[in-house]
């Protein structure tokens, strides 16, 4: 919860990846709040009030996962909405404002996106943004397993990371501008 809150404020792409990881951790713990409490919540060095807040956050996320029927796979709607918002921003930057820096980053990633889509056998309905996120999440899982990652894959992931980093910065800028309007 603490990490999620900070990532949500600073980098929406990192937040999405973090939330995907949390969903998988919760699945690995059987969506059992007692197990989550023992294995995760107890590790935080915080006072009891903050510990209860963290436990409640995990408990609410578990409830959301069950309600939305993503106990085995998939993602909660609030996270999917953020992926959709990033995708909309992606198209906005490419088509409506013609952001040349973003266009260059996207073009630099394009061949890697096509190759990853082909290798992962993903349909065209999966947006380029979600494709980048899925690829980076896969790389994260390989790193956590201490598996070797081919240099070509590392280079492809770097192109995805640069593209998403710029997109996340634009998203944050957009949110800050929207909050000034209120």
**Residue 152: which domain range?**
77-180
Q: CA-based Rg of the chain, rounded to a whole angstrom?
A: 18
Whether residue 88 sits in one domain with residue 59: no
Higher pLDDT among residues 4 and 87, named by residue? 87
Q: In this structure, are 84 and 56 located in the same domain?
A: no
Which of the listed residues 67, 86, 102 is the one where a domain comes to its end? Answer: 67
Whether 46 is in a domain gets the answer yes
- 44 part of a folded domain: yes
86 with 166, same domain: the answer is: yes
- What does the pLDDT look like over 101-115, one tens digit per residue? 999 999 999 999 999
Distance CA 20, CA 3 (A): 13
110 and 150 part of one domain: yes
pLDDT tens digits, residue range 53-65? Answer: 999 999 999 999 9
Query: How far, CA to CA in Å, does 91 sit from each of 11, 22, 97, 111?
Result: 19, 28, 9, 18
Rounded to an integer, what distance in angstroms lies between the CA atom of residue 61 and that of residue 55? Answer: 10
Tens digit of each residue's pLDDT (9 = 90 or more) over 66-97: 999 999 999 999 999 999 999 999 999 999 88
């Amino acid at each position: 919860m603490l990490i999620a809150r900070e990532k949500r404020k600073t980098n929406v792409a990192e937040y999405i990846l973090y939330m995907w990881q949390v969903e998988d951790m919760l699945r690995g713990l059987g969506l059992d709040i007692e197990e989550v409490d023992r294995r995760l919540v107890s590790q935080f060095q915080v006072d009891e009030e903050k510990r209860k807040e963290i436990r409640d956050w995990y408990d609410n996320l578990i409830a959301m996962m069950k309600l939305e029927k993503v106990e085995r796979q998939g993602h909660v709607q609030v996270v999917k909405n953020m992926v959709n918002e990033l995708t909309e921003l992606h198209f906005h930057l490419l088509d409506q404002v013609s952001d040349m820096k973003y266009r260059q980053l996207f073009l630099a990633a394009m061949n890697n996106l096509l190759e990853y889509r082909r290798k992962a056998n993903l349909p065209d309905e999966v947006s380029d943004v979600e494709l980048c996120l899925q690829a980076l999440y896969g790389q994260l899982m390989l790193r956590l397993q201490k598996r070797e990652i081919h240099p070509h894959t590392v280079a492809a992931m770097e192109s995805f990371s640069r593209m998403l980093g710029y997109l996340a910065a634009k998203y944050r800028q957009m949110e800050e501008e929207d909050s000034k309007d209120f």
